[in-house]
Amino acid sequence: MLAIDEKTPDFSPQVADEPFEPLAERIQAYAVSQPDKMAIHDRDQHVTWKTLIDTVNAIAHRLRAQGLQPGDKVAGLSENSVRYVALYLGVLAAGGCMVPLSGMASDDALELMIGDSDAQFLFVSARNHELTQNFRQRLADIPPERQVGLDFQDAHWQGFDDWLADAPHDRCVIGATPDHPFNIIYSSGTTGTPKGILHDYRFRSRQIRRMTTYGLDNDAINLVSTPLYSNTSLVSVLPTLFNGGTLVLMAKFDARGFLQLAQEYRVTHAMLVPVQYQRILAVEDFDGFDLSSFRLKLSTSAPLRSQVIAEAMRRWPGNILEVYGLTEGGISTSLDCAAHPDKWDSVGKPTEGSQVRVIDEGGRELPQGEIGEIVGRAGAMMRGYYKRDQQTREMLWASPEGEIFLRSGDMGRMDEDGFLYILDRRKDMIISGGFNVYPEDLEKALLAHPAVADVAVIGIPSEQWGETPLGLVVRQTNSEVSRDELLEWANAKLGKTQRLSGIEFRDTLPRSTIGKILKRELRAPYWAR
């Protein structure tokens, strides 16, 4: 059994004499070495490193005084804010494990996640307060004195300032080992209880070192516009904090607001998801903003379309680095867009120290060029799904050499130069008349039409073929292209087994908070008929 605790086997490669310095311990020095440097800006607050560390230590002291033991879980439900980042760091300093929750989840799902994580404390922002009202009294492991409003208080919730009261500001850091739990991030499942992905300090330490090489150092000014419950955000936020840089936080993303903040704070870095690139570049006066301070923009969560890369590289200063990986870890590739303009349809090569392979349904490794499931092994690999031994085992693939890889669920291929191409999620692949059809190929064909702004291709039931591809298209503003015109145009560019059975126009496509198109939601009505 894979019991998820400090004794859990570590799947990731072992490295002798590996440097290790816990985040909460590292940042203590910045209160002395750069006390007046700005650590975090948000809409309402601007805090220096001295003020941040004082708050982090006070939170750690209060958590310990209320009984938090090393490894205990603390749940947080909040938009990005100075106070939420301080809470995250304070939990780590106290030896706890952070459980950041999504404000996009239902109240039923949130109750399940809080219970599943064994959380001992709950911190909630005013914006998410209502989501907890139906279940907060049923949280047997979290008594009222451990239910805290980050920016509000009422008859049922303690206000953060009252909770913190006169907690001391002196150093309060409980030593952590590489095996110590760092955080649990819940997957975005919509049925049952989402899986909790447990990361340890080894995972985060290795990830921080790798991301530091991309310039997330002491001089970095990192604009954060994706939520902190997403690993997408933590990948860039944690190294910025570790190295004493500066965070600029957006509580809620909007494209023009992003540009205004980037110009005002002379932002150097940002981690974005593909749909954000599209929305930012579409801002009418985009070219009027001074973005010359940008050194690097990162992209993750879904493949960044080559035409979007081309436009961003032409109009937006600084390079783009596309990063492909899983919240679970294991798989790690990157594409330097400036260095490889002929590979923009790929997600790059495996990063240093990582391995990526492609396997068939029987678990046999496939040669270059053949399509199969992507599996990977890297320095940063999860400890497992929290309290889900069987689902953890199902995620693993053992190589002929006996090394453990994580399965991605993504279908792809490696080219002759070692660049990885993602075709689709395995569950999104369409089997039509016995042939595998990859929606990504059809979506690229449709996006080449000047009238198409956004697209998703899904499989729908077909008496003749079992299932058949349907294109759901968002047209460009003022476009009058008809469904028949677009269908004929696209099918002329596709192979016989790929052809679309139809086109439907939509005003928008549903997306998760980190920009992934919710294809399961799009498919559901067709399969329910």
Check pLDDT > 50 for residue 446. Answer: yes
Any domain includes 483: yes
Q: Of 200, 228, 249, at which residue does a domain stop?
A: 200
Q: Is residue 470 part of a domain?
A: yes
- The pLDDT of residue 192: 53
Indicate the number of domains in the chain.
2
Structural domain that includes position 178: 21-200
Would you say residue 297 lies in a domain? Answer: no
With respect to residue 116, please indicate whether it lies within any of the assigned structural domains: yes
Taking the C-alpha atoms of residue 389 and residue 111, their distance in angstroms, rounded to an integer, is 22
User: Quick one: how far is CA 66 from the chain centroid?
Assistant: 31
Can you give the pLDDT at residue 189? 45
DSSP SS3 for 291: coil
What is the spatial distance between Cα 202 and Cα 494, in angstroms, rounded to a whole number? 46
- How far is CA 341 from each of CA 291, 310, 321, 348, rounded to the nearest angstrom? 22, 9, 12, 11
Question: What secondary structure letter does DSSP report for 355?
Answer: E
Q: What is the mean pLDDT of residues 332-347?
A: 97
**For the ranges 16-20, 196-200, 301-305, the one whose mean pLDDT is highest:** 196-200
**Would you say residue 155 has pLDDT above 50?**
yes
Least confident of 215-224, 467-476, 518-527: 518-527
Q: Poorest-confidence range of 210-224, 380-394, 481-495, 507-521?
A: 507-521
Mean pLDDT of 422-446: 83
Binned at pLDDT 50, 70 and 90, residue 268 comes out as very high
| C-alpha gyration radius of the chain | 23
Sign of CA dihedral 498, 501, 507, 512: negative
Q: Sorting pLDDT into bands at 50, 70 and 90, what band is 62?
A: very high
Task: Give me the percent of the chain exceeding a pLDDT of 70.
Answer: 97
Q: What is the chain's mean pLDDT, rounded?
A: 92
Which tops the pLDDT comparison, 195 or 246? 246
pLDDT at 275: 84
Give the amino acid at 52: L
Query: Are 500 and 457 in contact, with CB atoms under 8 Å apart?
Result: yes
- 148-162, 177-191, 233-247, 441-455 — which is least confidently predicted? 177-191
Residue 49 lies in a domain: yes
Please give the average per-residue pLDDT across 228-236, as a whole number. 94
Q: Residue 190 pLDDT > 50, yes or no?
A: no
Q: What is the largest CA-CA distance in the chain?
A: 72
Least confident range from 24-33, 46-55, 170-179: namely: 170-179
Quick one: how many helices (H) and strands (E) in the chain? 15, 27
- Residue 108 lies inside a defined structural domain of this protein: yes
The band of 9, judged by pLDDT with boundaries at 50, 70 and 90, is low
Q: What is the pLDDT of residue 8?
A: 53
- Of 167, 185, 200, which closes a domain? 200
**CATH number of the domain encompassing residue 523:** 3.30.300.30
Domain closes at, from 200, 220, 246: 200
Asked, for residue 236, whether it belongs to a domain, the answer is: no
Residue 2 region by backbone torsions, left for phi larger than 0, else alpha for psi between -120 and 50, else beta: beta
Domain CATH number, residue 132: 3.40.50.980
> Is residue 471's pLDDT more than 80?
yes
pLDDT for residue 175 is more than 90: no
> Which tokens go with 401?
């050499």
Percent of the chain with pLDDT over 90: 78
Q: How confident is the model at residue 513 (pLDDT cuts 50, 70, 90)?
A: confident
Among 8-12, 320-324, 399-403, 511-515, the least confident range: 8-12
Asked if residue 235 belongs to a domain, the reply is no
Of 506 and 18, the structure prediction assigns the larger pLDDT to: 506
Sorting pLDDT into bands at 50, 70 and 90, what band is 33? Answer: very high
Residue 92 pLDDT more than 70?
yes
pTM, two decimals, is 0.87
Stretch 216-230: mean pLDDT: 96
